Amino acid sequence: MTDDFDAMYETFQALLETFPPSEAVKRLELFGIEQDVVEKIRERHEQHTLRIKELEEPHAVVMGNRDTWYTGPQARDKCWPAIVDLLRKHGWPEEPAIRDLDHSSTRVVSLLNHPKERSFSTRGLVVGYVQSGKTTNFTSVMAKAADRGYKLFIVLAGIHNGLRRQTQARLVQQLVEPNPSLWLQLTGADKDFTPQENPAAYFGKSNKTRVLCVVKKNATVLRKLARWLDKASDYLKECPALIIDDEADQATVATKSINPLILSIMSSLPRSAYVGYTASPFANLLIDPSAEDLYPRDFVVNLPKPAGHFGTEVLFGRYALDGENEEDVDDGYDMIRSVPIDDVPCVRPETKADVEGFEPVITETLRRAIEYFWLVTAARRVRGTGNPHSTMLIHTSVNTAVHNSFKRPLEHLREKTATSLAEEAVLARLRHLWDEETARVAAEEFAETKVPFDDLIAELPGVLRTCRVIMDNSSSEDRLDYENGPVVAIAVGGNTLSRGLTLEGLSVSYFVRAVSAYDTLLQMGRWFGFRHGYADLPRIWMTDELAEWFRHLATVETEMRRDIDIYMTEAETPLTFAVRLRTHPALRVTAAAKMRSAVTAASSYGGRRVQTHYFHTDADWLRRNIAAAEDLVAESVATAVRVEERPADGRYVFRDVPYDVVTRFLASYEFHEKSPENDADLISAYIHKRVSANSLRRWNVAVVGTPSGEPFSFAPNVTVGRNVRSRLKSTPGPGSVDIKTLMSPRDAAVDLAADSSKLDEDGIRAKRQEEYPDTGLLVLYPIDKNSEPKPDKKTRAPLDAEEHVVGVGLVFPKPFDEDSTVEKYISADLSGVRIEDEDLSLLEGEDA
């Protein structure tokens, strides 16, 4: 009976490829299948549908309550099983890698339209991580769509020939070669699209093959494709097409040539689904949703982060989001090395006028980075595991002349090092470098074993002999080629190395490229990805300012993904919610042209904790803040309804202080300019708005120190021990420090009457709302100017300020209404909806 039922269910699944579920059920009844069996088939289909909708990963936002027609692979499929076989041969484990890929690609396909629908024009967006396997995901989506009847597959593969060739090769290997009789190709490894003579040979009704076209986002190429498809329109009426836009934020959005051409191609395809893939979706999320454009109006999907992936947060750490325990947010691995600001003019021209005749200097930090790369390569040869290639990236400028200027000094350094390996001073320097770096990041943390220097030194001559210096840019013929045996290379480049193209075995990066936008910065980070067999060895040399920008970007990424997930749980759609993107004082979210349709989004302070973590270190600035804090404490002593003294715990609480005492303090205390969330004017404006609604009229002011610290006095009889808050080593710029975290969750309960020792952060927030629904909390922290870090905090350094520091934390109750807001985000404008960054000159030419 079970076999018979399974056979009938397979019949039902086959009917679903032609008919919607309700019609497929009627067809079963026409076949004479008994009603109770039909009901069981319907129930199984609904259960499968529910499983797809409720897949834990990836999370998605879906437009409407569309029926899920695709419930996963079937036994008769050919394209998806071929991919699975290839992945197994390449060592992919069944759990969790192949399982997760199956689930996430099934989720995306389930959001596409049924290929038999009369007409559709879907627009979706898939958000991945840089170098995390997005290509494998969209290849799997293409395979599953091909197995179900999609016929034409157009892949828009970036703006450079290198990425287009790489993508073409991957798709041919994983889709075409395992099933050659199922596929026809409009493009090849060495040729972009050229018009074919007979469209009927590709799209005629009698032709059941799938058609693959991999093109770069170049106006000349896309114009030829658009014209050819327009001429073939008679054959395309019943041709379901899937357009995959790889690097969908690049060139696709707000360009005068590329954007209209993509829309023109879609207009020639009555049955088309456009799915953008990107790790930096900022521009895509800011498209005008009311325009006839490529805003992801139908769905947005967050791909899960793969196990073992080195992403922004892993390397740079991030700041805690509202509602998070700061102690649970890591500082990142100790893999970032500081390039002094004085070194930058030595490796990058300061102005355009300086480009001609520029000669780079091999600075101390650049030499250390290069020598460490050679040591890493030798150590990996000793281990004999993982990726056989080893690459170093040097990225200082977008200018190709600057790239080329590095060749002679880099080759000279390689030759000089090779001839001096026998010198004791050189060996001693290399040994010290190796021991110092391997001590800062323990191999055991990554289930590896440190390679002794005496073992790797034997491999070093061979490494230097095989190491190539490659200028990989749009004007160079010398490109990275990983197809012909193991590669050891120092790659100097710009845009061609900053999008999609994988730098195999990337171990060391030297990066001082000046950028101005989130998406450009994120895509420049070729060091993201997988480091199997050498996860303890990667290092990145960059300026402290860049490191801080990446830490901010990690926070933006996490918050953006949380927004998508939260709105999914609230049954929102891309046309009823707009993902918020946190702003930065020195960076744009994306290029100005791509933000024309964006609006400033409002974020309320209600229910949030705000804390200072940036400080200047000069004595005058710090003394002014100490004076402001002393005045606040003096006024709090004078105006508080009740004073609670707990000197043994290092705590004082002044209860029911008038709000104007707090706003006067905010007017005199100086927040660091790199802390946009700590804007005194915005905070005061928010307080005044709440006061006008009869809230936040009273405040509790607290002083929090530590019993074991050296004494710090705010006022007579208000003395506490100084706190220790060490700084992050990568704090940008001289004269500033970033401590990352000031308040602990327990500090937000300093004024609560209830025992909060057993409450988590959510419990403290709930208890505050119960006890103080209209009262704010301001906490002062005296911080010792030396503040030595604990020995195990390797990403930290002493505070080293000229005067003791006073930090400020503010805790706001959640208001009963949400009209009192502050502005520090941007988002797409949904009001019209009813119910040196990228080198864009490359888009127009043929030979990008």
Buried b (16+ CB within 10 A) or exposed e, 724-752: bbbbbbbbbeeebbbbbbbbebebbbbbb
For residue 339, the model assigns a pLDDT of 94
- Answer for the pair 598, 286: CB distance below 8 angstroms, yes or no: yes
- In the predicted model, is pLDDT for residue 835 greater than 60? no
Task: Specify the DSSP element, H or E, that contains 231.
Answer: helix 219-231
Mean pLDDT, residues 320-329: 73
CATH topology of domain 57-316+546-586+828-848: Rossmann fold (3.40.50)
For residue 817, the model assigns a pLDDT of 61
Q: What is the pLDDT of residues 137-158, one digit of tens each?
A: 999 999 999 999 999 999 999 8
Query: Which has more pLDDT, 463 or 530?
Result: 463
- Answer for the pair 374, 460: CB distance below 8 angstroms, yes or no: yes
- Answer for the pair 536, 443: CB distance below 8 angstroms, yes or no: yes
Closest C-alpha to 147, from 69, 51, 93: 69
Mean pLDDT, residues 105-110: 92
What does the chain come to in residues? 848
- Residue 474 has phi, psi (to 5 degrees) of -65, -15
Residue 482 pLDDT class (50, 70, 90 cuts): confident
Query: Which has more pLDDT, 522 or 291?
Result: 291
Query: Which has more pLDDT, 43 or 304?
Result: 304
- Residue 351 has phi, psi (to 5 degrees) of -135, 165
Q: Which of 69-83, 241-255, 524-538, 619-633 has the lowest mean pLDDT?
A: 524-538
Residue 23's CB is within 10 A of a number of other CB atoms, namely 11
- In the predicted model, is pLDDT for residue 474 greater than 50? yes
For residue 433, the model assigns a pLDDT of 97
For residue 407, the model assigns a pLDDT of 92
Residue 387 pLDDT class (50, 70, 90 cuts): confident
- In the predicted model, is pLDDT for residue 64 greater than 80? no
For residue 639, the model assigns a pLDDT of 95
For residue 839, the model assigns a pLDDT of 47
Q: What is the pLDDT of residues 186-215, one digit of tens each?
A: 999 888 898 888 877 788 777 789 999 999
Residue 57 pLDDT class (50, 70, 90 cuts): very low
Q: How far apart are CA 486 and CA 480, in angstroms?
A: 11
For residue 240, the model assigns a pLDDT of 95
Highest mean pLDDT among 60-64, 233-237, 426-430, 645-649: 426-430
For residue 803, the model assigns a pLDDT of 97
Percentage of the chain exceeding pLDDT 70: 90
Mean pLDDT, residues 790-799: 87
- In the predicted model, is pLDDT for residue 159 greater than 90? no
Q: How far apart are CA 486 and CA 489, in angstroms?
A: 10
Return all residues near 271 (Cβ < 8 A) that are at least 6 apart: 113, 115, 117, 118, 119, 120, 238, 239, 240, 241
Q: How far apart are CA 833 and CA 433, in angstroms?
A: 59
Mean pLDDT, residues 767-773: 90
- Environment class of residue 680 by beta-carbon count within 10 Å: exposed (0-12), middle (13-18) or buried (19+)? middle
Q: How far apart are CA 244 and CA 142, in angstroms?
A: 9
Mean pLDDT, residues 96-125: 92
Q: Which of 37-51, 437-451, 573-587, 762-776 has the lowest mean pLDDT?
A: 37-51
Q: How far apart are CA 174 and CA 402, in angstroms?
A: 38
**Contacts by 477-482, CB closer than 8 A, 24 or more apart:** 479/162, 480/391, 480/504, 482/389
For residue 495, the model assigns a pLDDT of 63
Question: CA geometry: angle at 559 spanning 554 and 562, to 5°?
Answer: 125
Q: What is the pLDDT of residues 536-594, one digit of tens each?
A: 999 999 998 888 888 888 888 988 988 877 645 565 677 777 888 888 777 888 888 88
Mean pLDDT, residues 414-426: 95
- Residue 609 has phi, psi (to 5 degrees) of -110, 130
Question: What are the tokens at 621?
Answer: 């600035």
- Answer for the pair 215, 187: CB distance below 8 angstroms, yes or no: yes
- In the predicted model, is pLDDT for residue 661 greater than 50? yes
Q: Quote the mean pLDDT of the chain.
A: 86
Query: Which has more pLDDT, 674 or 305?
Result: 305
For residue 45, the model assigns a pLDDT of 78
- Answer for the pair 195, 224: CB distance below 8 angstroms, yes or no: yes
- In the predicted model, is pLDDT for residue 286 greater than 70? yes
CA max distance for the chain: 93
The answer to pTM > 0.85 is no
- Answer for the pair 112, 145: CB distance below 8 angstroms, yes or no: yes
Q: Are strands 711-715 and 581-582 parallel, antiparallel or unpaired?
A: unpaired
